[in-house]
A and B are shown apart, each in its own frame.
Chain A
Amino acid sequence: MDSTIKILLIEGNIRDACLVDDALAGVRGVQYDLDRCERLAQGVDSLESDRYDVVLVDLALPDSNGLATLASIRGAAGPVPIIVLSAFRDRSLARRVVQEGAQDYLVIGQIDSDSLGRAIHYAIERKAVEGRLVTALHEAEEADRAKSEFLSNVSHEIRTPLTSMCNVLSNFAAGIGGRLKGKHEQYVTMLDDDCNRLRALVEKLLNLSRLQAGKVPVEFGSTDVAAVAADAVRGVRREADAKGVALEVEALGHLPEIDADGSLLLQVFTNLIYNAIKFTPAGGSITVRLQDRGGEIYAAVVDTGIGIAPENLKKVFEKFAQVNRKKGGKGAQGTGIGLAICKEIVDLHDGEIWVESVTAKGSTFQFTLPKKERAVRSEKQGPASVEKELVEV
């Protein structure tokens, strides 16, 4: 640091102020410009009207004391680093002061030119680094939020034209404008399929952005995972039959009920099984395997499909990361949103989700659900959950 460092010293005790002044005078190679005031109110005023490189503050002032002093100074100092001066050597206070946003804690009796000069230098550097990190974090959060918002806006905007398209098709089907024949009927059926796909896509996108924004109310409750898996299988049975893929559930032993959100888990099973159907050729098979592993329930969706290349295994749970599973195969489309939704939901349950796969042999998507009692439950659970929360804390 070669230019002058501007310091604000807030110190009620004149002798301590002189000690600091003397110590600063002895620091070689640095110019200090020291302003001093005695009271907190003056200190706050000075910070608001002038620009300083660092603030040295004694927490015991005529008009304020202790951590309250630090809080006021922090509020006024903004990006200016703060060094707390104290008459006492108090380790727990020192730690507390740093946790509350000061850069350092110095005991006045132990100050010398070397230590004070170094403390000031480091405080300024640390604060600058912290500032850059905070800015970067804010920018990242802001970008992520803007992206989610954009996604949600676009999805809403897509709904409007989609509505009139769906209405038109529905009106055709109802016979408005006369009966459709031959190619026209075929075309309308094609349009209808694509409208439904678009509609499902918009729903998924909104669903994912709501999950990520924490806007989906999660309702934990006693849940029979095997029954949920069976429900999911029932829901996609027709697709499996149509494609000629065998589909069965295999539960190893009896599964206890666990604390989970059944409707969210249904989405996980449905997405995974639906994916498996998409990527498994006719004649293949899909097995949903469930197992009680003591502390957790293990679930797997095993297919004999085309598999995933090793380099893509990690990517599949990322949003929009539909890796090229088809590789010249027939157009098995997907957006890669379904798996991102699965991951969000399993994360909400504090579980893990991963995939193992062998190209051309098949994939196994698997996840675990810990069997834990949840401290935070939906509001309707009543006072019992409050007690539990207290116990766990």
Chain B
Amino acid sequence: MSRAGRPVWRLPSVWIAMGILAVVAFVTVFGSALAPQNPLTVNANALFQGPSAHHLLGTDYLGRDVLSRLMAGTRLSVLTALEAVGIGLILGTIPGVATVFLGRWFDFLANRFTDALMTLPYIFFAVAVTAALGNGLVQAMVPVGILLAPFFFRITRAATLEHARTQYVEAAELIGASKRHIIRVHVVRKVLPTIAVTTASMTAAALLAVSFLTFLGIGVQPPAPTWGGVLSSDLAYLAQDPWAPFIPGALIAITVGALNALADAFRDRSGSGRLAPVTALTPPVKTHSTLEPADDERRSQSVA
């Protein structure tokens, strides 16, 4: 490998995370088609059943097949979470980077606006927005995304501030680099890992937000399945079926964990340095004192 260092895609944690996310992506696309049973079929004779050959993950309080509901619910869960995170990402990160470079007044106003947004409880905000715009998935996720934006904004701004004050940014200014160049090459690249980690955790928060809103009848309407919805309903019947919440819970945790692992690897790779390359351990490189020939060249000349 001519380029020293270990590429991010060679890390085992990245492979595992990518594998998990690939499965989630596959189920997102084909989950409804591949579900072994109809996720909406109620069976009054099979309430709260444990895992069996017929119901691999058991049944819920209406006798519906949990595996089928989780598979069919993957698309709604993932897409709604991604929609909210996408909105928050765009509304939060772009101003987060821009405020650092656009002067104190813009920074002040953006911060006060963010403070105001952070005081809003997202449940009530979502209820108000859906009341105004009509109940639906998009309408419910827009307020969630708007309320995720301050988190992206603050984290991005803090990371940008940190990197914008580094000496290598000053060095870039001293070679005449424009603000745009500095942001693109020295700031955004360094801030991206932080954003990636935040996106992973915000995706988890969005998955949970979908479940809360589903529980309230906002956004995803019952009986349409979502991971959060399954978790919420299982939690309501903890006394009858104590192990049931672990299945959707584990599904959410594994997915979020995979996102976090991927983000961590990305952050580590883009951080203070890459893993020590084998070539760096060998001592072949030395500087020669001036612009004259190197020592070994001089030595060979004197021998001649």
A binds B: no
Query: Chain A: residues with CB nearer than 8 A to chain B?
Result: none
